[in-house]
Amino acid sequence: MSAAEATLVLRLGGPLQSWGDRSVFNRRDTRPEPTKSGILGLLAAAAGREREEPVGELLDLRMGVRVDQPGTLLRDYHTVSDYRGRPLPQAGVSAKGVQKPTSPAKFTHVTQRFYLQDAVFLAALQGPDALVRPLADAVRHPVFPLALGRRSCVPTHPLFLAVREAPLEEVLRTEPWQASEAAKQQLYARRRARSATIDLPATLDDPEGDDSLNDVPESFAPRDRRFISRRVRHIWVTLPTGFPESDTAADGHDPFALLGW
């Protein structure tokens, strides 16, 4: 990391989040952790950029995400119909730009949307200091409303945590655990013991990484959205929990220790 670089640290938490990368009209999935396109979109909204503007220097940011509280999956089930009792239109349009009725006639359309509920992530973005610090100010004073993947998914405070003069991986390994106190208590109630440390999964950009994700946005334009792949590396980080060490389960064996729970 050069002296002219810094790392922006964000806490992504809220009642609902949704980070889709492979969605169709009737089914919109979510990844188990934030996508790079979703986080760069949040930063672009904070800075007041229009969707049609080039992504530009935001693509220079290296990103890492740590799963501090995985949350649970929520399925939102919808049925859609025309109140006039007419067949629903097709998704495509004619040469005149008019939607035709479905054939055979379809009167009800089923859609499903998936969300993460009560999840918390720590996101870190490393890049030139001259880019990172204005983005930090923008997150604290956003031009457009900010969302966690979809407009309906509003982040809770604090969203901005810090700007660190430290490399990306070091930030992921040293920033305090961001899980809620309720989640921590539930965790230890399940384990029947408290530990002084916890192991958390993290993913970070790495040109030599052994995995790839297709979530780097080349364009946010609604009619010209394009994405490319990035190489990533998966790691585990060990953080202090803030709790004193206590005895493990009554039989001396903790079956969830290897899973980080």
pLDDT in tens, 93-139: 777 778 877 878 887 878 888 999 999 999 999 999 999 999 999 99
In a domain, 196, yes or no: no
Residue 214 structure tokens:
């297709």
Identify whether 192 is part of a domain.
no
- Looking up residue 53, the CATH number of its domain turns out to be 3.30.70.2660
User: At a CB cut-off of 8 Å and minimum separation 6, what does 111 contact?
Assistant: 25, 26, 27, 28, 77, 78, 79, 80
The pLDDT of residue 192 is above 70 = no
The answer to whether 14 and 155 are in contact (CB under 8 A) is yes
User: Looking at residue 249, what DSSP letter applies?
Assistant: S
What are the CA-CA distances from residue 111 to residues 81, 84, 85, 122, 170 (Å)?
11, 20, 19, 31, 42
Q: What is the mean pLDDT of the chain?
A: 87
The domain tally of the chain equals 1
Task: Please check whether residue 101 lies inside any domain of the structure.
Answer: no
What are the b/e assignments for 156-191, b being 16+ CB within 10 Å? eeebbbbbbebbbbebbbebebbbeeebbeebbeeb
Residue 251 lies in a domain: no
What value does the CA radius of gyration of the chain take, rounded to a whole number of Å? 21
- Residue 191 neighbours by CB under 8 Å, 6+ apart: 249, 254, 256, 261
Per DSSP, 91 falls in state E
Print the domain residue range for 49.
5-77+106-177+201-236
pLDDT in tens, 34-76: 999 999 999 999 999 998 888 889 999 999 999 999 999 999 8
Using the predicted structure, report yes or no on whether residue 180 has a pLDDT greater than 50. yes
Answer yes or no: are the C-beta atoms of 173 and 68 closer than 8 Å.
no
Give yes or no for residue 250 having a pLDDT over 60: no
Q: Categorize the per-residue pLDDT at 184 as very low, low, confident or very high, splitting at 50, 70 and 90.
A: confident
Q: Within a domain: residue 191?
A: no
What per-residue confidence (pLDDT) applies to 251?
46
In a domain, 147, yes or no: yes
Q: Given the structure tokens 């983005």, which residue do they identify?
A: 135
Rounded Cα distance between 156 and 11, Å, is 9
- 259 domain residue, yes or no: no
Tell me, yes or no, whether 241 lies in a domain: no
